[in-house]
Amino acid sequence: MRVVSPMSSRLVALVALLAAGLPAAAPADAAGERVGVNAAVNTDANGTPPNAATRKLVIGQEVVHNERIVTDAKGQTQILFLDGSSVSIGPNADLVIDEFIYDPATGTGKMTLTAVRGAMRFVGGKLSKQENAVTLHIGTATIGVRGGVFVADIQPNGKAEVVFVYGKAVTVSGQSGCAQSLYRPGFAVDINGPGGCPDSPHAAPPGTTAAILNQLDGRAGASGGATTVPTDQTVANSPVPNTVSNNIQVSIQQAGANAPTAQPPAPMVSPPQVPTNQIQVASSQSQPVVSNPQPPQPPPPSIGLAGSFDNTSIFPGPTVSPLQNTSLSNGTLNASVSSGGQQATFALPLPAGRLTTLPPAGIDAGVNGVWGPLTGDTFLSADQSFFYADLISASFNAPNFLGPSLLVGGTAVPSSFFAPTGSTRIFAFNLPQAPPTIANFTGVNTLPFFLNDDGLSDPTPSVSPLYLVAPAANAIGDSSGSTRFLQASLSLTGAQSGQNSALMLATGTVGTLQNGGPLLVGALRGVNAGESYFSPISSIPDGNGNSLYGTSSGIAGFGLNSNQYVLGSNGIATPGTAGPGNGTLASETEGPSTFVSNETFPIAQPAVATTLPAGIGASRSVNALVGFFGGIMTTTATTPISNSFPNAGGNAYAINGIAAIGTNPAANTVTAAFASFGLQSPATGGVNSVTMVFGPEQSAFVDDKNFGAVESRSVPSQINGQNVSSSLYMVTANTAPPPTSFLPTQSICSTCGYLQWGYWGGDLTSGNPASPTRVDHGDINFWVAGQLTPVSQLPTVGTGTYSGGIAGTVVNNGATYAASGSFTNTYNFANASGMFSGTFDTHNFNGAVAGGTANGIPGYAGTITGDNGGKTATVVGAFFGPGAAETAGTFAAHSVANTSYTASGIFGGKLTGPIH
C-alpha cells in the first residue's frame, strides 16, 4: 500500500481537483487542507480549523484537516469526504478530523477521526476498503473499520455503543487492548466507560439503532442548508426508485449475497434414472418372470378327514381316486373309494403315532372281497392329522390283484398356516422307503422315485429330506412362486467298473390348485448307469383340493406322485397333459446305446414331517458363484445319424467349462449356466461347444449349501450354438453327500468356506424331441464354484500350498464310473506358477501350472502327466475367497497311447498354511 505523507496528500488532493477540471477549492483555513465538504448542515454546527477561529458550518463549505466540529443540542451535519466516505453526526456531538490522506489515483490513504461524544454514522468510501485505513477514536475505545457502515452513540462519560450495519468487520478495542470484532449486521458491543473492555458481541437491543438514526436523519423544520428542499415528488421523479426499491429481484439477489443464509436446494431438473443395470444382469442370468402378485387363495374349508387312493397298478389310466366318507374311529380308517372299476370300502387298522408294517400274509383291510388281504406299511401321525398306507395285495392270487398303491390323506392344514410370517420357514419331510412287500414284487428299491426294477441295492443311500422352503414375505402357494421344494438322493456303491450309481433330484414350486389348496408342482430328474429319468411331480390332492395335511402347527405330511400340473404366472396350478385322468407316468430313457427307448412307470411316495436337520437354513445369501464343471458325456445317436453329427454314435467325451450359479434367497430360486470350453476331441462327434442352462423355474434354494435346479424353461441349452431340448439336473453335493468310501470326508473340501460343489447330468437332445437325431447324456458329473478372489486381492508375493479333493467321471475301457482323489498345488504368486500333483482314480499326476486368465477368470492352467507319462491331463483352476484362501478348478485326462481312458472332473481345496 502506498503511504502518503500529509504534505503530499495536499498536493494529491489539489491535483485531483485540477484533474477533474474543477476550479480550485474555496480558500481553506490557512492551517488545514480540504478533506471534504459539509454536504448538509442543520444549525448549529460549528467548525474550528486548526489555528483558526471557530466558524459556523454551512452547506458546501470545505472541511479541512484537523478541523474540530461541534454541534449544539439541535445541530446535525453530514461530512462528505473526498474518498466518498461520509460521517453524519447528531446533536451535542464533538468530532475531530485527525488525519485524512487520500490518493484518488489509487484509492489508498488513511483516515483517523476522534469523536468525544454524540451519535454518529460512518458510511465507508474507498479508504475503508483497505485494511487498517480508517480508525475512529472514541476516547474510551478505538474502532477499526474494514469496509461498510456502522453507527455509534458515545456518551460524555465514556460509555459507548457501537452497532455494525454493513461491511467486512468493525473491530472495537478497549484502552487495555481488549478487542471484539463485529461482522454480523445488527450486532453490537458496549463499552462501559473509561478503561472498560467491549462486551461480547450481541444482537443490538430493539430500538437501539433506530434511536441513533433518529438523531442523524434530519429534524423537523430544518432544511440542512439546502436552497431547494426536496419533496416526495422530487424523489418520485428521480431515477432512484426504479433502480432501487422497485427492483425487488435485485434487492433479493444482493441481500442473498450479503446475508449468509442457507442456500435453497438446487432443483433436480432431470429426474434421476433408475440404476437398472443390475436388473439387466438378472435378466441375462435368470430371465425372471414378472407377474402381478395376487393374494393367495385359501384352501376350501376343511370338511374333516379326506384323502386319495393312488392305485399305481392301473396302467395306463386314471389312478388317483378321492377317498369318500373318510373317518377314523377306534383305530380304524374307514373310507370308500372307486378305483379301477372297483368299489371298495376300507376298514384299515391304523394305530396312531407310528409306522406299522403289515404281515406278509396281509390283513383284512375291509377290501378282501375286492383285492384280497393287503400287506404293506401304514402310518398315522400322533395328532391323527395325517395318514398314509403303502398297500399291495398280499397274494397274486387275489381276486383282483392290487399293485403297489398309496392311500394318503388327513386333515387339511388351515389356511392361516400358509400366511407369511416375516421369517423364512424351512420344513423337512422324510420320504419313507417303499415297503419290502412292494419291493418283493418288483425288486429292491431304496431310492425314492426310482423304478423298482433298476436293481439298486444300496442299503445306505444318501437320501435327503424333502425340504420345503417358504419365503418370509409371501404366503405359501401364492403367485410369487417363491415357496420351493428340494430333495435329492444319491447312491454310489462299488468302484470303477464295479460301481453302481444313481441320482435323483426333485424340485419345484408350491402353487395353489385351482379351486383348491397349496400344491407342490415340480420336476424329477435322475440318472442311473447311463439312463435318464424325467417326470413331473406333484403332491396328491384329495377331493377337496387339499394335498397338505396337518394342523395349524404345521404340515404333518402329504403324498407325491407324477401327476402333471401347469403352474400359471398367477400361481394357480391346473392339470396338465399327464394330470389326473391322463395317466401318472414317469419316463425312463434307456441307454447308452445306439438307440433311445423309453419306459414309463408310476410313482407314489409319501412324505412325513421330520425335524429339520441341524444347520439347514443357517446361511442364506445372494450368491453369484463362478467356477468350473467337468465330466463325461456320452453320445447316443439314433439312425440315421444327422448330417450335423456325422461322427456321432456311442462315443464318450470329456467336457469341461465355466460354471456360473446365482442363488436368490428371496425367491428361493437358483439359476445356473454351464458353458464348455472349446471341445476338440473327435469323440464329440462334431460337438464343439455345449451350454447348459438351469433354473430358475424349477429350482429351489434352501440355503447356501443346499440348492438345486433342473433345466431352464426360458433359456434353451445349446450345442454348437443351436438350441436343443434338455432334461438336466444340478444339485449341491451337500444335499446328498457321497459316501465316505468315495471321499473320506464326503466332500472334496469339507472345511472350505468359499466353495460349493455338486453333481450335474442329464440329456441334451438334438433334433425333434419326438425323433431325436442325437442324445448327449451325462450321468453323475461334477461342478465346483465359489466367490472368486477379486483380482485386486490376489497375493502378489509368497507361496501357498493348497490341498483338497478331486471328484470326476471316468470312462475306462467302456466302463463309466465316478472316481475321486486328492491333490496338492504349491503356488508361487510372485512368479505366478505352481506345482500340481494329485492322485485320481488310483493314477498319480503331477506337473507345472502357470498363472494366467482362463476364459476371463484369473487363475492358472497347465498340462500335467500321469502314470509316468502314460496319461496326460489339462488342469485349469482359479482362486476363491479372501486372499486366495481356496482354490478350485477342472481337469481333463486321457491315456496317451490310445483312447481307452478318459476322465474329467473338478477339484477343490484350501491353503494348508499361510502364504509366505
DSSP assignment, residue 638?
-
Site for another protein in 821-860 (CB under 8 A): 853-858
Identified binder of another protein from the candidate list 174, 196, 224, 579, rule CB under 8 A: 224
Task: Give the residue with the Cβ less far from another protein, 267 or 422.
Answer: 267
The rounded distance, in Å, linking the Cα atoms of 572 and 289 is: 15
Measured from the CB of residue 375, what is the shortest distance to another protein in angstroms? Answer: 48
Buried b / exposed e over 193-205, threshold 16 CB at 10 Å, is eeebbbeebeebe
Q: Stretches 225-233, 317-325, 431-439, 869-877: which one binds another protein (CB under 8 A)?
A: 225-233
Considering the complex, what minimum distance in angstroms separates the CB of residue 857 from another protein? 6
| Among positions 243, 338, 813, 900, the unique one binding another protein when judged by CB under 8 A | 243
DSSP 3-state assignment of 451?
coil
Residues 27-56 that bind another protein (CB under 8 A): 36-42
All three cell numbers of 200, joined, read 461480547
Cβ neighbours of residue 206 closer than 8 Å, sequence gap 6 or more: none
Using CA atoms, how far apart are residues 388 and 399, in angstroms rounded to an integer?
24
Per CB under 8 A, 796 contacts another protein: no
CB of 268 to another protein, least distance (A): 6
Nearer to another protein, 424 or 433 (CB): 424
Q: Which three cell numbers stand for residue 214?
A: 433518529
CB of 546 to another protein, least distance (A): 26
User: What residues contact 817, with CB distance under 8 A and at least 6 apart?
Assistant: 495, 496, 497, 499, 501, 809, 810
Q: Is 626 in the site for another protein (CB under 8 A)?
A: yes
- Which one of the spans 232-240, 541-549, 552-560, 741-749 is the region binding another protein (CB under 8 A)? 232-240
User: How many other CB atoms are found less than 10 A from the CB of residue 13?
Assistant: 24
CB of 113 to another protein, least distance (A): 16
Among 30, 240, 848, 897, binds another protein (CB under 8 A): 240
By CB under 8 A, residue 688 contacts another protein: no
Query: Does residue 173 belong to the site contacting another protein (CB under 8 A)?
Result: no
Interacting span for another protein (CB under 8 A) from 200-208, 326-334, 756-764, 816-824? 200-208
Choose the stretch contacting another protein; rule: CB under 8 A; options: 270-278, 295-303, 342-350, 740-748.
270-278
Other residues' Cβ atoms within 10 Å of the Cβ of residue 649: 15
Q: How far is the CB of 116 from another protein (least distance, A)?
A: 22
The answer to whether 834 and 826 are in contact (CB under 8 A) is yes
* Binding residues for another protein restricted to 697-736, rule: CB under 8 A: 714-715, 717-718, 721
Distances (CA, A) of 83 to 88, 109, 111, 684: 15, 9, 10, 99
Distance (Å, rounded) from C-alpha 77 to C-alpha 396? 134
What are the cell numbers at 235? 424523489
Q: Is 794 in the site for another protein (CB under 8 A)?
A: no
CB of 119 to another protein, least distance (A): 13
Residue 903's nearest CA partner among 828, 854, 841 is 841
Q: Could you say whether residue 675 binds another protein (CB under 8 A)?
A: yes
Q: How many helices (H) and strands (E) does the chain have?
A: 8, 57
Cell of 854: 482362463
Query: Does 187 engage in binding with another protein (CB under 8 A)?
Result: yes
Which cell numbers in the block locate residue 414? 388351515
Closest separation in Å from C-beta 714 to another protein: 7
DSSP state of 869: G
Query: CA angle 631-634-636, nearest 5°?
Result: 155
The answer to whether residues 121 and 14 touch, using CB atoms and an 8 Å cutoff, is no
Tell the smallest beta-carbon distance from residue 820 to another protein (Å): 27
Give the burial class of 250: count Cβ atoms within 10 A of its Cβ; 0-12 exposed, 13-18 middle, 19 or more buried. Answer: exposed
- In this chain, which of 24, 27, 176, 232 binds another protein, going by CB under 8 A? 232
Q: Which listed range, 289-297, 544-552, 735-743, 834-842, lies at the site for another protein (CB under 8 A)?
A: 289-297
Residues 308-327 that bind another protein (CB under 8 A): none
Q: Between 286 and 539, whose beta carbon lies closer to another protein?
A: 286
Query: Which has the closest alpha carbon to 138: 125, 124, 119?
Result: 119
Binding window for another protein (CB under 8 A); candidates: 14-22, 340-348, 739-747, 823-831? 14-22
User: For residue 208, what is the enclosing H or E element?
Assistant: helix 208-214
Peptide bond into 575 cis (omega under 30): no
* Selected range binding another protein among 208-216, 599-607, 733-741, 753-761, rule: CB under 8 A: 208-216
CB count within 10 Å of CB 313 equals: 18
Q: Which one among 24, 73, 290, 770 touches another protein, defined by CB under 8 A? A: 290
**Please, where are the H alpha helices in 809-880?**
none
Neighbours of 793 (CB within 10 A): 13
* Distance of closest approach, residue 650 Cβ to another protein, in angstroms: 26
Q: Minimal distance in Å, beta carbon 416 to another protein?
A: 24
Strands (E), 593-712: 597-601, 604-610, 623-637, 652-664, 669-676, 690-703, 706-711
Residue 443 near residue 436, CB atoms below 8 Å: no
Q: Which of 3, 11, 18, 250 binds another protein (CB under 8 A)?
A: 250
Q: Which is nearer to another protein, 86 or 311 (CB)?
A: 86
Binding of another protein by 869 (CB under 8 A): no
Applying CB under 8 A, among 53, 268, 361, 618 the residue interacting with another protein is: 268
Site for another protein in 479-518 (CB under 8 A): 480, 482
DSSP 741: T
Task: Kindly tell me which residue out of 32, 139, 201, 602 binds another protein, with binding defined by CB under 8 A.
Answer: 201
Q: Does 260 bind another protein (CB under 8 A)?
A: yes
Q: Which of 12, 64, 101, 123 binds another protein (CB under 8 A)?
A: 123
- The residue to which cell 453524519 is assigned: 88
| Count of positions on this chain that bind another protein (CB under 8 A) | 149
What residues numbered 354-393 form the site for another protein, per CB under 8 A? none
Least distance to another protein from the beta carbon of 884, Å?
13
x/- letters, 68..87, toward another protein (CB under 8 A): --------xxx-x-x-xxx-
Apex CA 737: angle with CA 885 and CA 426, to 5°? 90
Site string for another protein, 442-481 (x = CB under 8 A): --------------------------------------x-
Site for another protein in 540-599 (CB under 8 A): none
